Amino acid sequence: MRLRVITAGGTIDKVYFDAASTYEVGEPQIGPLLRDSNVTFDFVVESVLQKDSLAMTDEDRSLIRSRVEAAPEKLILITHGTDTMTATAAKLQGIADKTIVFTGAMQPARFRDSDAVFNVGCAVGALQVLPPGVYIAMNGVVSPADKVKKNRAASRFEPKA
């Protein structure tokens, strides 16, 4: 089993820069996170964007699609900001023979109480058993990407009405 992780920024990768008292998207957390979890599968991490997902453009989404299409791996995990995760997922529909699972976090991975480790675990567990398609794994629930939306006020994903 081998998977490619494409990182697009978002809350999961936010770090705190004391020197500037700012809080920005930093280096991808997913590599250390997977190694600390003692995973035995092969993976490669490709950092495509380091953006808050509210700042992502159509060009950014096209870039992500082109990177997914170019990937030799069949299994693609994408870490992404939660606010526009469904919009990017919509742009990845119709790529043949690839299983693509998006995940992210409501609290930065560096936080003590972050949901990042659980969410990534959930995405990895689903990714390897799902048929090709585009999915979102958030809050412990794995769904086709076009069936969920973020409830911003409640900070969670929910089924689309």
Question: What does the binding site for its own copies look like in residue numbers (CB under 8 A)?
Answer: 1, 11, 14, 16, 18-19, 21, 23, 33-34, 36-41, 52, 54, 82-83, 106-108, 110-113, 115, 117-130, 137, 139-142, 152-153, 155-158
* DSSP conformational letter for 10: S
Nearer to its own copies, 21 or 97 (CB): 21
Comparison of 65 and 107: residue with beta carbon closer to its own copies: 107
Per the structure block, which two tokens stand in for 110? 């560096």
Q: Within its chain, how far is the Cα of 56 from the centroid?
A: 14
Instruction: For 106, list phi and psi in degrees, rounded to 5.
Output: -85, -20
Smallest distance, its own copies to C-beta of residue 66, A? 26
Smaller CB distance to its own copies: residue 90 or 125?
125
- Which C-beta is closer to its own copies: that of 47 or that of 107? 107
**Minimum distance of its own copies from residue 154's CB (angstroms):** 8
Cβ 54 vs Cβ 83: under 8 Å: yes
Q: What is the DSSP string of 75-92?
A: EEEEE--STTHHHHHHHT
Helical spans, DSSP H, in 17-103: 30-36, 58-70, 85-91
Nearer to its own copies, 40 or 70 (CB): 40
Cβ 161 to its own copies, closest distance in Å? 15
Residues 76, 48 contacting (CB under 8 angstroms): no
Count of CB atoms within 10 A of residue 73's CB? 17
Least separation, in Å, of the C-beta of 76 and its own copies?
Answer: 15
CB of 42: closest distance to its own copies in angstroms?
Answer: 11
